Amino acid sequence: MTSTTLSTTRPKRPSQLFRNLSAKLASIPMILTALVIFLGGTVWTVVYSFTSSRLLPRLRWAGLEQYERLWATPRWLVSIENLLVYGVLSLIFSFVIGFVLAALMDQKIRFESAFRTIFLYPFALSFVVTGLVWQWLLNPEFGVQNIVREMGWTSFTFDPLYDQSIVIYGILIASLWQGTGLVMCLMLAGLRGIDEDIWKAARVDGIPMWKTYLFIVIPMMRPVFITTLVIVASGIVRVYDLVVAQTSGGPGTASEVPAKYVYDYMFQAQNLGQGFAASTVMLLTVAIVVVPWAYLEFGRRKRV
C-alpha cells in the first residue's frame, strides 16, 4: 500500500537510456564496428588458434598443440627476444631524444618551425622506404663504412645488418630516425601547454632549469607522456615492414619479429592455426602490459 503511493508521488525521472538520443544513435555504427570487427575478429582468431587450420580456417580442435609448437620453435623465441630488446630501447631512446629535442626547441630559438619540419620529416616516410634507405646506409660496400674508409680510416668496420649479434640495433637506428620527430612534436605541444607563470614562479624561487623540467614540468605533462607511450608502444609491437625492408629477418633468423612470424606462418606456410596462436600470444603480451596500467590509471581517477 505505502509503496505504491510513494512511487506515484515521486516525480518521474527521464530514462537514462534516452538522454542524448541523437548522439547515441550516431555512435551506433562505431560501436558495431568495434564490437563486430575488433572484438569479434579477436575472439574468432583466439578460437581458431585452438584448431589445426591450415590454408583455410576449419574447426578441427587441436587443443594447445599450436601453442606448444610455438614455444618450442627457435625462431619464435628469437622473435620475442628481439621484440623485447627493440621495444625497451626504442621506448627509452625515443622518449629521451624526443624530449630533449623538444626542450631545446622550446628555448625560443630562431627558425624553430624550420627545425621542427626537418625533425618531423622522416615521419612522412613509410617504414618500407625508411628500411630501404637505411639498408643502403648500413651496407658495408656503399654506406657509412665505405665513406669512413675512403676518408682514410681503412680498418673502420660498421656493418650491423650483416652481424647476427647486433643486427637488431641496426633496425633500432632506423626506427629512431623515423619516429623521434613525432615524439618531439607531441612533447613540444605538451611543453607549450605549461603555463608561463609556472616558469616565472620557478625562476623567482631560484630553482635551476633542469630541476624545473624534471620535478615540475614533466609531472605536469603526464597526459602527453601517456598519449606518446600508447602511440610508440603500439608501433613497437606491430613492427614488421621495417624489418622486411631492411633485412627480411636476416642474417639467418637474427632479426625476426613476432609480427613477421605471424604473417609468414599464416600465408607462406599456409598454417593459419600456427599464425593465430602467435598473434594471440602477441595480444596477451600487450594485454599484460596494458591491463594493469589501465586499471591503475582509470581506477585512481574514479576515486578522486
Binding site for other proteins (CB under 8 A): 54-56, 69, 73-75, 140, 162, 164, 248, 250-254, 264-271, 274
Please list, in sequence order, all residues whose beta carbon lies within 8 angstroms of the beta carbon of residue 144, skipping any fewer than 6 positions away: 137, 138, 158
**Nearest residue (CB) to other proteins, 121 versus 142:** 142
**Distance from C-alpha of 161 to C-alpha of 167, rounded to nearest angstrom:** 5
**Nearest residue (CB) to other proteins, 50 versus 119:** 50
Q: How far is the CB of 250 from other proteins (least distance, A)?
A: 5
Q: How far is the CB of 165 from other proteins (least distance, A)?
A: 10
Let me know: does 137 contact 173? Beta carbons within 8 Å. Answer: no
Q: How far is the CB of 150 from other proteins (least distance, A)?
A: 19
**Nearest residue (CB) to other proteins, 190 versus 275:** 275
Cell of 77: 623465441
Q: How far is the CB of 157 from other proteins (least distance, A)?
A: 13
**Nearest residue (CB) to other proteins, 73 versus 146:** 73
Secondary structure of the chain: what % helix, strand, coil (to 5)? 75, 0, 25
Please provide residue 217's backbone torsions phi and psi, each rounded to the nearest 5 degrees.
-70, -50
Q: How far is the CB of 202 from other proteins (least distance, A)?
A: 54
**Distance from C-alpha of 48 to C-alpha of 42, rounded to nearest angstrom:** 10
Q: Using CB atoms within 10 A of its CB, is residue 94 exposed (0-12), middle (13-18) or buried (19+)?
A: buried
**Nearest residue (CB) to other proteins, 75 versus 149:** 75
Let me know: does 71 contact 79? Beta carbons within 8 Å. Answer: no
**Distance from C-alpha of 148 to C-alpha of 127, rounded to nearest angstrom:** 26
**Distance from C-alpha of 115 to C-alpha of 177, rounded to nearest angstrom:** 15
> Looking at residue 32, what DSSP letter applies?
H
**Nearest residue (CB) to other proteins, 54 versus 116:** 54
**Nearest residue (CB) to other proteins, 138 versus 221:** 138
Cell of 7: 512511487
Q: How far is the CB of 48 from other proteins (least distance, A)?
A: 14
Q: How far is the CB of 54 from other proteins (least distance, A)?
A: 6
